[in-house]
Amino acid sequence: MATRTQSRSTSNRSSSRSSGNSGGSRSAFSWGEGAGPIIAAALGGAAIGFAANYGRKALMQGMEAAVGDWDEILAAEHDMSLAIFDKMLATDQTQTFKRKMLLMKLTHALDKHSHQEEMVVYPALREANDAADADHLESEHGYIKTFIFELNEMGPDSSTWLDKVRDFRKLVAEHAHMEEEQVFPKFKREMDEEQNAHITSLVNRDGFWMA
């Protein structure tokens, strides 16, 4: 578990296919009359859906790029997650729909964030001879997933839901603190500007596909 005990407030920084039958001898265009417009409409809908999703991803990537270096991107995501926790803690037992929605939002945010760290930052840390910190932090990600599992299992109307969320927030705050104050600054200092820019581009790329 986290080696740091400090919990942070959230006010310290202003801060997401289809297959075709191309192998058959029958052309798609031999289908009965009237199918064409339906197919075209379906394809058009898919294209619009793809464009919308792509636009959302591009927007999120643009937001991240505007934040700065990899460590600043990850710190901003910590704050976003802690802010969701605070909204969860402000709910009562009757607000089951709101609790479910906030837990889904938190799950997505933490999933994207941990993917960026587990696929880029922690492997880079191991390459830089800091496997101990990388292994410690990655094991904590396992406990973060465990909290999400437990909250889903207990349901949003549980009398101990807030206690569980409080313990969960504490773990994430301590984990984020260790990354922001200890591991990431040390790692950043060890790299030159080009290496830092490389890690930033990898974090942005991974976050783009996970958004």
Q: Is 180 in the site for Fe ion (CB under 5 A)?
A: no
Of 100 and 108, nearer to Fe ion (C-beta) is 108
Residue 168 to residues 94, 154, 176, Cα–Cα distance (Å):
21, 14, 12
- For residue 35, the minimal CB distance to Fe ion (Å) is 50
Q: Where are the alpha helices (DSSP H) in the chain?
A: 35-67, 70-89, 96-116, 122-127, 131-154, 161-178, 184-190, 193-210
Minimum distance from residue 180 beta carbon to Fe ion (Å): 8
Within 10 Å of residue 169's Cβ, how many Cβ atoms? Answer: 22
HSE-up (13 A, CA, CB side) for residue 30: 5
Straight-line distance from the first to the last Cα atom of the chain, in angstroms, rounded to the nearest whole number: 28
* Contacting Fe ion within 63-82 (CB under 5 A): 74
What is the nearest approach in angstroms of Fe ion to the Cβ of residue 82? 11
How many residues bind Fe ion, per CB under 5 A? 4
CB of residue 182 vs Fe ion: minimum separation in angstroms?
12
Q: Under the criterion CB under 5 A, does residue 117 sit at the interface with Fe ion?
A: yes
Output 156 or 174, the one with its CB closest to Fe ion: 174
Q: Which residues bind Fe ion (CB under 5 A)?
A: 74, 117, 137, 179
